[in-house]
Chain A
Amino acid sequence: MNHLWSGADGEVKAVHAALGKRRGITLNTIQSTLKRLFEKGLLERDKVSHAHVYRARLSREEFHRGLLGELVGNLMQGQAEAVVSAFVDLAERAGPEHLARLEALVAERLRNSGRGSR
């Protein structure tokens, strides 16, 4: 996916030349991986002469947004909590009045310490 997102050629032989040779992966493995990603709906392909040319169906941002949505869904069902520690909860937000009260407290402490408001 990273290779295709970089705008590189999506023809199987070109992908193999760019990735497979360096990592010791055979042409068949590259071909079947691309086919699997196509079947999962992550890639699109066109037939140019006798070869398939693949390209990403989703942008990297769309792909990441989808994965994050799935992760938040799992968090809400209590399935992913053990794998992920988020800096602030992904699935639960503080009430606006709580947040305003806490911000006022922090601002006061910053004022008192001479650092002013941020």
Chain B
Amino acid sequence: MSPVMHSAQLFLLAFVLFLALGSLATAALSRALKPRIAGWEPRTRHRALVVLASLPVLTSLVLLLATSLPSLIALAIPELDHCPEHDDGHAHLCFMHLPEFGASLVPLLGLVFTFSYAFVRGAFSAAGLVKATRIVNALAKTAERRTDLGIAVIETTQPVCLAAGLLRPRVLLSRGLLEALNAEELAVVLAHERAHVRRRDALVASIVRALAVVHLPAVARWLLSELEIAAEQACDEEAARCVGDRVAVASAILTVERTAQHAATSELCAVAVAFGKCAVARRVESLLAEPKEPASLRPFAIGLGVTAVSLFALADELHHATESLLSFIAH
């Protein structure tokens, strides 16, 4: 194998190790921040969850860049090159002196397994997205357009209201729900769904789902479920601002939920009954409670910024520690 391939193996191995480190750090941070995040207003909570979801990837990219910094500087200023101090068996993370040895069989198989797993998971998710998008497009194309309301009406008695689509989201409302709602409830439902469209929640959720692959399973589950409910609550708050009444939004949610229950019972639809407190209960209780004060993510962002700068300040130490660790793992 060529030295370039050896170098690529070592960098990939370092990236995977940093990803694992980022995932563990995010799990610890999520655990510590969970009670605080729960008290934040939905929009800020949603943003914080998106940042937490992207943290392992961001961490690994920052660590990889910080680790590569001495080698990048040596490219520009060859006098600062320190590679001759190492013996030949060292796992060089260097662009000038490519390593003579790559990873041994076990870490190499680990790399192949990790990337194959990520690829297969990605392919399944992409196939699911394509299938769902195809269904949504078929519904939107064959639904009646109501330009006065900015929606497409699906011909079914089932009470359904969706903001659907990744890049060009649109609001789909069923005929059954359109006829079941009064004017105020319809205004709430449409304001809520338009908020989803404006916020591009489907696109954000797709990106977070892709990023969730690198999290510990329990953290990924928590992130995805909390992100979903935070998006719903953020849209509820926007609908409440739009109609000027929080109780009206709570009431509309319950009307649609009750109508959906009737439809599920009468048409024997395949639905699950929530065990314990469901999303509807959390949304309604939140709307009936006093609105939460807007929270700021600035301290959180400053903390992350300071950590990133510290990592760059420790680039030399990080570089040597990573090379030693890679020498131990790879050989």
A and B from one complex: yes
Q: Which residues of A contact B (CB under 8 A)?
A: 1-2, 5, 59-61, 63-65, 67-68, 70-74, 76-96, 98-99, 102-103, 105-106, 109-110, 113, 118
Known A-B contacts: A5-B142, A85-B201. Give 8 more (CB < 8 A).
Answer: A60-B155, A67-B135, A67-B138, A92-B271, A92-B274, A93-B264, A94-B273, A103-B258
Which of the residues B141, B142, B156, B253 comes within 8 Å of A65, measured between beta carbons? B156
Which of the residues A68, A93, A109 comes within 8 Å of B288, measured between beta carbons? A109
In the complex, the answer to whether A80 meets B160 with C-beta atoms within 8 Å is no
Listed A/B pairs (18) with beta-carbon separation below 8 Å? A2-B141, A60-B142, A61-B156, A65-B158, A67-B135, A79-B125, A82-B129, A82-B166, A85-B196, A85-B235, A88-B256, A92-B278, A93-B257, A94-B257, A99-B258, A102-B254, A102-B281, A102-B284
- How far, in angstroms, from A37 to B280 measured CA to CA in the complex? 40
Least Cβ–Cβ distance between A115 and chain B, in angstroms? 8
Which of the residues B156, B205, B247 comes within 8 Å of A64, measured between beta carbons? B156
Which of the residues A76, A85, A88, A91 comes within 8 Å of B257, measured between beta carbons? A88
Residue of B with least CB distance to A89? B279
- How far, in angstroms, from A118 to B235 measured CA to CA in the complex? 23
In the complex, the answer to whether A106 meets B281 with C-beta atoms within 8 Å is no
- How far, in angstroms, from A78 to B127 measured CA to CA in the complex? 12
**Per-position contact with A for B264-303: 1 when CB-CB < 8 Å, else 0?**
1000011111110111110011001000000000000000
Residue of A with least CB distance to B203? A82
Which of the residues A64, A82, A113 comes within 8 Å of B142, measured between beta carbons? A64
Contacting residues of chain B (217-263) with chain A, CB-CB under 8 angstroms? 228, 231-232, 235, 247, 250-251, 253-254, 256-258, 260-261
Collect the chain A residues with CB atoms within 8 Å of residue B209's CB.
81-82
Q: Which residues of B contact A (CB under 8 A)?
A: 125, 128-129, 131-133, 135-136, 138-139, 141-143, 154-156, 158, 160-166, 189, 192-193, 196, 201-202, 205-206, 209, 228, 231-232, 235, 247, 250-251, 253-254, 256-258, 260-261, 264, 269-275, 277-281, 284-285, 288
Least Cβ–Cβ distance between A99 and chain B, in angstroms? 6
In the complex, the answer to whether A82 meets B284 with C-beta atoms within 8 Å is no
In the complex, the answer to whether A83 meets B260 with C-beta atoms within 8 Å is no
In the complex, the answer to whether B202 meets A85 with C-beta atoms within 8 Å is yes
In the complex, the answer to whether B257 meets A106 with C-beta atoms within 8 Å is no
In the complex, the answer to whether B231 meets A68 with C-beta atoms within 8 Å is no
- How far, in angstroms, from A70 to B258 measured CA to CA in the complex? 22
In the complex, the answer to whether A71 meets B155 with C-beta atoms within 8 Å is no
Least Cβ–Cβ distance between B222 and chain A, in angstroms? 15
In the complex, the answer to whether A106 meets B251 with C-beta atoms within 8 Å is yes
Kindly list the 5 A-B residue pairs having the minimum CB-CB distance in the complex, ordered from nearest: A79-B128, A80-B132, A87-B161, A82-B206, A83-B132
Interface hub of A78, A82, A109 (most chain B Cβ within 10 A): A82
- How far, in angstroms, from A85 to B172 measured CA to CA in the complex? 10
Least Cβ–Cβ distance between B271 and chain A, in angstroms? 5
Collect the chain A residues with CB atoms within 8 Å of residue B154's CB.
64, 68
Which of the residues B129, B264, B270 comes within 8 Å of A76, measured between beta carbons? B270
